[in-house]
Structures are given as structure tokens and as C-alpha cells.
Chain A
């Protein structure tokens, strides 16, 4: 069972803490996200050594831009997975919001960019609420529900869009420029994504609403008994995820050329993989959104990296698959170790007292 990594209550100060020599180093090594960060750094280092162009100005820009959208999706998905659910419909939701963006701008409509952002985030939130409602009020398992909404939303997207596709020049130049212009070498949409990741991370670790999600994922019954409004929190998580997907949809429309009926297909498994690689346990209750964001970054970087290394691109998917499995295994070992430590600690406390 995955447990939170924080140790139990510290024993009274009078007991000599001889056994407790947790140096900063060992605490660092226990950080959940360490493996994925190390992997990312190693990957970038090796690739740059072989092909210095990898970290050129354009190269860095491309890396960041590629990762931006998956990062946002991973953050939202992490929140959901932490509560022991999953949302498979994000690809279809993204498609709807991206096409919505295209529609709002179409024909030189003159709609202000800010309005489009707000509208699509709201649309995403609405779609997320549909999922959330079906999962909480109707109490149906999220995997099944979101598999169903994956189909339904995609169908609606097809109905709405038909053969219509909106291209880059159907949108205002300033909007497209968001993916091109940089501040301090970082593209604007990436800055937006990073800000969002930071905000969500703060909510998850400091705010009651966020921490409750961990409790719900660890043990829903206990959380309920403890007085946590489980259904309300889970609903909020789904809505928040939907809003993030909506935002990602707008950013997608800024970055890529066409938006249409097939936008966003088959994204869901990539995002879940990114979240898992980033150290979030699939059973919920542990992991951080920052880890998920790094996981997303790692997965998108692998593809670019293998290309830059001129490794047969046919190996890319296999490598990604192997990596996911490795990440799961590492996470499993880490949680087993944490559980063992907790057990040993409580045994020690029993003996001490």
C-alpha cells in the first residue's frame, strides 16, 4: 500500500535520538522526485555532449515548448490520480477546447485574446464538472466514466468541427506570437505553464483543499470519517483538471498549426505515463504535481533527445515504455522502503516507551 512518506510523530525529546541520524543527504535521497530529476539531467547532459545543438537557443526553446502542453495536462492528471481516480478523457477535452479557440478567433472576429482564454478555461471546467459529477454524485468508477466521456467528447468534437480546420493564420498574430516570443529566453506559454504548476503545487502542499486530496487518495473511508468533504474535494479536483486542460487547449492552438476534429487524440496515455514516471503512485495518496511536471518534461525530452542523437527513431517508443516500467518499479521500491521505515519506527517507539 502506498503511504505518505512523512514519518510519524516524533518521540518525546527526552529519548536520546541515537538512531535518528537523518542527514540532509539522506533526506535528499529520499525525495520522491529524485530519480526522475536525475534521469532528466543525465539525459540532457549526455545528449548535449554528443550534439551541442541540443541546447542551442532554438533547441532549448523547442524543448520547453514541446513540454509545455504535456506539463499542464500532467499537473491536472496528477491531482486526479492522487485522489485515486483517473481521467482518460483529457485528449478529447483538449480537442474541444482547442477547436473552440479556433472557432472564437475565426474570420477575424476581433475577440480579445484574454476573453478566449477565460472562455476556454471555463469550457474545460465545465467538461471536467461533467466527469466529476458522474464520478462523485453517481459514484461510478472514474476509469469507466472517463473512458465513456473520452468517446462522447470526441464524438461531439467531430460533430462540431466536421471537416473544418482552423489554421495559424485564422488566429491573430499576437496570439500565435505567444509561442514564439520569449522572456529571458523562455517562451511565454511556457512561463504561463510554469506559473500554473507552481500555483497548483502550492495549493497541494499548503492549502487544506489540496492536502485533503492526499488523504482521500490514501484512505477514502478514513478521510470521510475524519470529516473531509470527500465528494466536494474530488469534484473540485475534476473541475480543476478540466480548467487546466482548457488552458492547455488554448496554448495548443497558439503553438500548432491546425485545430480540428482530431486534435488531441491519444494524448491520455502519454499523460498518465508522464505522471507515473514523475513519481505519482497510481493508487493515489502520494507524489507531487512538480514531479508530474518533471515527468512530462522527461518524456517529451526523450523524443527530442533520441532524434538529436540520431538514434533510430524506431527505438523511441520502446525506450519510453522501458522507462515507464522502470519508474514504476522505483516508485514501488521507494514506497516499500518508506513503509518498512514507518513500521520500524513505530516498533522502536513501542520499545522506547
Chain B
């Protein structure tokens, strides 16, 4: 036994590569590739630069906001108010532009609004210590309400051509929108922060527990605060993009976007409990949902199917690992039982939900004994 353990604990370069290629995030990338290939084959006209352009334009808001959202969920929190910040930013842009401000000044003001909104979230959650799910439900209503106060029932539509054109302009014949350059930059930025910095590693630790994070050396409160500010800024930028792309500033822009973003993040392999997930996985998941959406729309399949598919994917994505683990456990148990001499019945599997005592189960990473138990980690 000891030699096996020793052999296995020795770090094999191929095992790291295997881990990288087989982890949940990578699985999403494979699925995405398969999906795109299938769509190109089976849906008329899918494989064209037009698709790339339209699809990416549709996906950009979700992709952008999914970045800070990934970091927030990895650190064990959540932010439901992002869509309302988009709406507030859009409303601000509209009102200021209609009031005579120059576009650059108005856009800067929107970013400031995003900073303030994010700071409000960050203050309440990180400094005061209120639960993020509840707080961001409150700020979801608050910010959307402020958007209504700012712009009311009006819609501002006469934005300058150069800006609205720019929002949908493409790079030459590739069909890729110009703004994707900025989006890629943001994705790379968040990816680097999460995966290649110690701050990012600290976030993973934070997702497990406050203490773990402190051991790694990050200032928990400050980290969370700035994460929420980042979410606010990114949401505000999305608000500007949204307004210019549709040439319409309204208080109800982007309503419901937060659920789409969270669905994408969760599908991408980020655990809702925190502590797990990768940026590439999330990017792939968001693109996958976008591909499905666009492909099915192109095929004139009703949105109804789309909705069911998204929901099923989400459920399957969390169910899958459990099924996998259960299968693995059963197989392992059977093997061990076969190897044991016949010395009486094996210890009973623990009663439902009981904390595992010494048993076969203790050798395995058991799934959470009770639903929602791991939420305890979130409590401070």
C-alpha cells in the first residue's frame, strides 16, 4: 500500500497535463467545439462571417459580466444586481446625452456610476458583512428603481452615428466585431488575475473559508470590496455598449440579464459554493449558450425550445458530476468488497445525512452530506 501511495504522490508531468485537459472547464471547451461543428453542418448558413458577427454581438454583454461574476462566485459570494447596474448606466448615458453632455464625458459619468454602485454592494457585503444573496436582491431593486428615477418612461435614441456605428462595426471580412478586442482584453485580464496571481489563488481559498484565505495572506474584506466594484464597473461599461448597440437608452434595458450570466458561469464549471471553477470554462459555456441561441434562432426554432435547453443544460451540468461520483463510488465499493476476506458484513453506509464515521465512505470525497450544508462555509 505504502509504495502505491508514494508512487502516486510523486508529481508526474503527464498527470498535470491530464488534469488540465480533463477538468470541468476543459470539458466545456470540448462541448463548445462539438456544438459549433454540429451547428455548422446541420444549420443552413451558420458557417459564415455574419454568424460570427451577430453571435458575438449578442454574447458580449453576458461574456463581459461573467468575468467579475466568476471571481465573485469563486470567492463564495454572488451578485444579482449586475443587470440593474447595466440599466442604471444606460439610463445615465441617455439622460446626460439628452442634457447636452459630450459623449466622452457622459460615458465617463456612467463608469463612475458603476464604481459607486459596486462600492455600495461591496460596502454592505464586505464591510458590514451582510449576506450577498439578500443584499444584491435588494440592490437589484434599488438600482433598477434609480434607473427609473433617472430616466423615467422616456427612451433616448438619437445617439451620434459614429458611436452607434462603432458599436457594431466589424474587423474587415472576418465578421468579428471591433469591440471584441476590448472584450478579449477584459477576459484575459480576469483570467490572469484568477489563475496566475496569488490574489486569484487567495480567492479560491476564500471560497473554502475565511481562515484559509487569511492563511494565504489576502485581506478578505478588501478583496471582496474590490470584486464588487469591478463588477460594477464592468456592468456600467456593458450599459454603455448596450445603449450604443441598440441606440436606445431605457430604464428597462438588460432586465433579467443576471440570471443568464449566472447560468453561464455555473454551466462553465464554477461551483456555487465557491472554491472551484475556471475562466476558460466560463467563456466556453457562455459561447456555448450563445451558439445554441443563435443557431436555433437561425433555424427559426422557437425560443421555447431554447429556454428548455438552457435549463436542462444547467441541471445536467451539476447532476453530471454527482452521477459520475456515485458511479465511481459504487464501482470502488464493489471492488473493495470483492477484495476483502469474508469477515462479516461490511460497515453500513452511514444513515442519510449523518457525518461519516470511520468507514469506506471516509476514504472518498463524499458529496455534501446534507443539501446546502456547504453553505456553512459562506457564513462568517
Partner-B contacts on A (CB < 8 A): 1, 83-86, 134-136, 138-145, 147-156, 158-159, 216, 219-221, 223-225, 228-232, 234, 266, 269, 272-273, 276, 281-284, 312, 314-325, 328-329, 332
Residues of B within 8 A of A234 (CB): 370-371
In whole Å, how far is B72's beta carbon from the nearest beta carbon of chain A?
A: 14
**Closest Cβ–Cβ distance, residue A46 to chain B (whole Å):** 20
Whether B372 contacts A325 by the Cβ 8 Å rule is no
Please determine whether B152 and A314 come into contact, CB atoms closer than 8 angstroms: yes
Interchain pairs with CB closer than 8 A, number: 207
A sample of 18 inter-chain contacts (CB < 8 A) reads: A83-B372, A86-B133, A140-B319, A141-B318, A144-B318, A151-B310, A221-B369, A221-B373, A228-B353, A231-B353, A231-B371, A234-B370, A269-B137, A272-B134, A316-B145, A318-B146, A318-B148, A324-B142
Q: A141-B371, A152-B315, A276-B137 are in contact. Are A320 and B145 (CB under 8 A)?
A: yes
Cα separation A142 to B375 with both chains bound (whole Å): 11
B280-324: CB near A (< 8 Å → 1, else 0) gives 000000000000000000000011111110111111001100110
How distant is the Cα of A71 from the Cα of B246 in the complex, in angstroms? 38
Within 8 Å by CB of A152, from B146, B311, B367, lies: B311
A155: contacting residue among B138, B145, B305, CB under 8 A: B305
Closest Cβ of chain B: how far from A91's Cβ, in Å?
Answer: 11
Given the known interface contacts A154-B307, A229-B352, A318-B145, the answer about A282 and B372 at a Cβ–Cβ threshold of 8 Å is no
B residues contacting the other copy or chain, number (CB 8 A): 64
Query: Do B371 and A142 have beta carbons less than 8 Å apart?
Result: yes
Q: How far is the CA of A27 from the CA of B149 in the complex (A)?
A: 41
Q: Are A142 and B372 in contact (CB under 8 A)?
A: yes
**Does B193 reach chain A (CB closer than 8 Å)?**
no
CB proximity of A340 to chain B, nearest CB, Å: 14
Asked whether B354 is an interface residue with its Cβ less than 8 Å from the other chain, the reply is: yes
B141 pairs with A320, CB closer than 8 A: yes
A-side contacts of B369, CB under 8 Å: 220-221, 224
The interface residues of chain A lying within 8 Å CB-to-CB of B153 are 314
A314, B272: Cβ atoms closer than 8 Å: no
A43→B308 CA distance, assembly (Å): 42
A139 contacts B379, CB within 8 Å? no
- Contact call B318/A84, Cβ cutoff below 8 A: no
- Assess whether B128 is interfacial by the CB under 8 Å rule: yes
Stretch at the interface among B46-54, B99-107, B258-266: B258-266
* A325 touching B311 in the complex, CB below 8 Å, given contacts A141-B371, A147-B263, A147-B266: no
- Determine the residue in chain A with the shortest Cβ distance to B148: A314
> A224 and B353 in contact (CB under 8 A), knowing A283-B379, A332-B129?
yes
* Interface residues in B125-147 (C-beta closer than 8 Å to A): 128-131, 133-135, 137-146
A272 CA to B138 CA in the complex, in Å? 10
Please tell me if B192 contacts chain A, counting CB pairs below 8 Å: no
Counting from the closest, the 9 A-B pairs by CB-CB distance are: A321-B142, A151-B311, A318-B145, A317-B145, A321-B141, A155-B308, A220-B370, A224-B353, A324-B138
In the complex the two chains form, is A324's CB within 8 Å of B315's CB? Answer: no
CB < 8 Å: which of A1, A147, A221, A321 contacts B314? A147
A151 to B355, CA, bound (A): 34
Q: Say whether B308 contacts A151, CB under 8 Å.
A: yes
CB distance from A263 to the nearest CB of B (A): 15
B328 interface residue, CB < 8 Å from A?
no
Nearest residue in A to B307 (C-beta to C-beta)? A155
Cβ–Cβ contact B135 & A318, under 8 A: no
Q: Nearest Cβ in chain B — how far from A251, in angstroms? A: 24
Contact of B138 among A145, A314, A325 (CB under 8 A): A325
- Nearest CB to that of B375 among chain A residues? A84
The one of A139, A321, A324 that contacts B371, using a Cβ cutoff of 8 Å:
A139
Query: Are B370 and A144 in contact (CB-based, < 8 A)?
Result: no
Kindly state the separation between the CA atoms of A155 and B133 in the bound complex, as whole angstroms: 26
Question: Which residues between 19 and 34 of chain B lie within 8 Å of chain A, taking CB atoms?
Answer: none
B8 interfacial by beta-carbon distance below 8 Å: no
Q: Determine the chain B residues whose CB is within 8 A of the CB of A140 once the complex forms.
A: 315, 318-319, 322, 371
Q: Which partner residue on chain B sits nearest A275 by CB separation?
A: B134
User: Taking the nearest CB of chain A, how far is it from the CB of B232, in angstroms?
Assistant: 15
